[in-house]
Chains A and B, each alone.
Chain A
């Protein structure tokens, strides 16, 4: 190629259709894979929702036999299901409230203060997050057995608070870390004491984090099976009911309740995301 005085267009490579096709595939493989993966993730959910409308002849809800909405109009038909759901909700509410309070306090301490034992505290928060539930549940059971506590509603609540605290700490902490302390300083400069500052400035600003932590705690509590199984005695929560029913034929009403819980959780998450997006349209994570 001779060196040219004017810029010359680079010669175009002859692109065979095969290469073009391959490029197309390569470009879109990822998308296809992504979509397939999402389908895979959603498949069981679709099955659960679909079979909540099934009308099984016998006790087992495995083959599609007919469409009906009667399970939706009377979701608490099966005996014991209503009580189980009620117990689950009560436990979840209590556990959420307590773990949010305790967890937020811990998060505040961790983010804002330097103190000795920080590493140990971090470890103490971290281990329940990753430890297998079976160990958490079993160890708590040995405590209760030793003390002779009656296993039941309150032992379940205690167990749930125990594992929810860590999750709340993590969530609130994430929010606190990005928190601009200048606002607080400004408030204090204007004469507010720490208490007022906390309640009128800090708390509202970290509220989304607390809310997210609370949501997380609530859904974990409603869903928990392993730890509850160990500490429930003869009390039955919704997941325990499902476990018992799994052996004998799960009634479609369970699918209905499952779908409802799923739906509410999604709505709350969307609402939370929307709220955050409104506060910060640049799309904060």
Chain B
């Protein structure tokens, strides 16, 4: 006991040890293996050989550029849509929610508790060619009579937006909720209209939430493949689909690993941007 009293500095490290060790072994080290694998070449039949196979990377850029760009595109559009839907929604709850705030917040989180796949399959049902939604849209003329929503990029983007909405809504809510209401009152006292108050006071103050939500939505969305698989066709395949198929079906581990490394690199860049903007202490809650 006195050992620890004398060596108080040891305490945090001891507390950290088991968890950090676990993360190091099963999170950091695998990333290293991923990199190592990305430079291997071979097939199941011939065995895999580590031979600095940089052409895994050049192939990744030349052949799969389309899927990379598409992933970024879909993730980007979904993020914007999620922002457009979430901002008014969370604003409403934060400012007009009153006693019902927590309940309404629960309504946003609730869909999260149904298994991701089941939620997406429900959309498959809702958006089916003979379904209610498509019929209404056809009547409204938004969809041609022989058109469909499923198996198009619209469906995939709609799915991604839906599935990642909580990631956008929650940080937005937290940041909106924390805005000091007296600041808004002050603006009103100074004869600012609601619009002006919003644009000059609320919006800037909620910026951290917007940034956090955007990144937290965009990043996982870019790596998603489930929506593309269930709601789209290979024409909508994202980089996630390619990685998944290369790893699990084609067992082209080298190429698959290279693609994953590139994806991770892009994400890391975004994370660095995020931490620069918000600082490392604000990370992780």
* Residues on A facing B (Cβ under 8 Å): 30-31, 33-34, 37-38, 40-45, 47-48, 51, 61-63, 101-103, 105-106, 108-109, 112-113, 115, 119, 121-136, 138-143, 145-146, 158-159, 161-162, 165-166, 169-171, 173-174, 193, 219, 222-223, 225-226, 229-230, 238-239, 242-243, 246, 250, 254-255, 258-259, 261-262, 265-266, 269-270, 273, 283, 285
Contacts and interface: CB of A to CB of B under 8 A. Distances in A.
B97 to A, nearest CB: 9
22 contacts: A33-B88, A34-B104, A41-B165, A44-B122, A101-B18, A109-B11, A109-B15, A121-B20, A124-B23, A130-B267, A134-B244, A138-B34, A138-B247, A138-B256, A138-B260, A141-B247, A143-B33, A161-B26, A162-B22, A170-B284, A266-B113, A283-B102
Contacts of B281: 122
Contacts, number: 257
A30 B92 contact: yes
8 nearest CB pairs, A to B: A132-B223, A102-B19, A113-B12, A44-B122, A34-B92, A139-B30, A265-B113, A109-B15
A223 B226 CA distance: 13
Nearest to B282: A122
A242 B117 contact: yes
A48 B244 contact: no
Contact of A51 (B1, B13, B96, B125): B125
Nearest to B123: A44
Contact of A130 (B34, B116, B121, B271): B271
Given A34-B89, A105-B16, A41 B226 contact: no
Residue of B12, B109, B116, B257 with most chain A CB atoms under a 10 A cut-off: B12
B29 A223 contact: no
Given A130-B267, A270-B106, A174 B125 contact: no
A161 B22 contact: yes
B253 interface: yes
Contacts of A258: 114-115, 118
Contacts of A166: 284
Contacts of B109: 269
Most chain A beta carbons < 10 A, residue from B37, B86, B223, B284: B284
A119 B162 CA distance: 33
B264 interface: yes
B285 A170 contact: yes
A146 B19 contact: no
A145 B48 CA distance: 11
Contacts of A285: 177
B219 A131 contact: yes
Nearest to B221: A132
A176 B236 CA distance: 44
Contact of A135 (B85, B130, B260): B260
Contacts of A33: 88-89, 92
Interface in B208-264: 215-216, 219-220, 222-226, 230, 240, 243-244, 247-248, 253, 256-257, 260, 263-264
A73 B88 CA distance: 42
A112 B16 CA distance: 12
A242 B280 contact: no
B253 A142 contact: yes
Contacts of B27: 124, 127-128, 136, 139, 162
Contacts of B122: 43-45, 47-48, 51
A269 B106 contact: yes
Contacts of B33: 139, 142-143, 146
Contacts of B222: 132
Interface in B94-133: 96, 101-102, 104, 106-119, 121-123, 125-126, 128, 130
Nearest to B89: A37
Q: Tell me which of B85, B102, B114, B281 has the highest count of chain A C-beta atoms within 10 A of its own C-beta.
A: B114
Contacts of B23: 124-125, 128, 162, 165
B140 interface: no
Contacts of A140: 26, 30
A103 B256 CA distance: 31
B111 A41 contact: yes
A109 B247 CA distance: 38
A216 to B, nearest CB: 10
